[in-house]
Structure 1
């Protein structure tokens, strides 16, 4: 495989993990990414997650990323499917689902601009990477 357009290493072994976190009201926890030109999808709403480090499994990575980025421990985090971010990072991303009922404004956000619970019917009004939007729709239809 070739390197993606952002100058990263070849994507054959590069992986990431994101989590579709819902609350008891059926809302989704979204993360507004920083608006830095050197990151994939700057200034977009996305799911919490990040890259898989070393010999970590995608499940280990999502548990770590949720804790690192937002101090969040979601319950029942289960693997759903893989998708490729063909228009951004080029990574193969493993999608997970989990639940959390709490006040997102009280989470200690360490990356990005904001965390917000959003009603699924409002997704089309937000700037979301296409693969994330597609993954959320696919995950919610299960």
Structure 2
């Protein structure tokens, strides 16, 4: 199974593709797509769309896994993360790829075994599971890979 993991954000979108064969997982692709505050919104969303489309088209994932965001008092941030999610949803629709959402506690539970684990523990487990020489950085990248691995954990064949 190939999974495209997304840590959605309008300024930094983490994108990671992993393949799971049996109990083994391997990294196929990882990047952080960056936009700047000074760019017009359509250009920012377009850049995110093109990057997600390119990864999905190239690696043909069976699923897109996204981090479910929880916002309480950050309305502007939620609004702009929605722009990024819109780009992801358009790609999913165009390529007929199902989208699954996972909240941070579910990701932590799947990878570390404890729903209150810290980001460092999750990043360490991403490194260990994928057999990487270093912990993925920045955190957007580690989060995207963690989300993809979470989907693999919950949907083992």
Fold shared by both chains (TM-score > 0.5): no
Under a length normalisation based on structure 1, what TM-score does the superposition of the two structures give?
A: 0.35
Under a length normalisation based on structure 2, what TM-score does the superposition of the two structures give?
A: 0.33
Structure with more of its chain in strand, by fraction: 1
Structure with more of its chain in helix, by fraction: 2
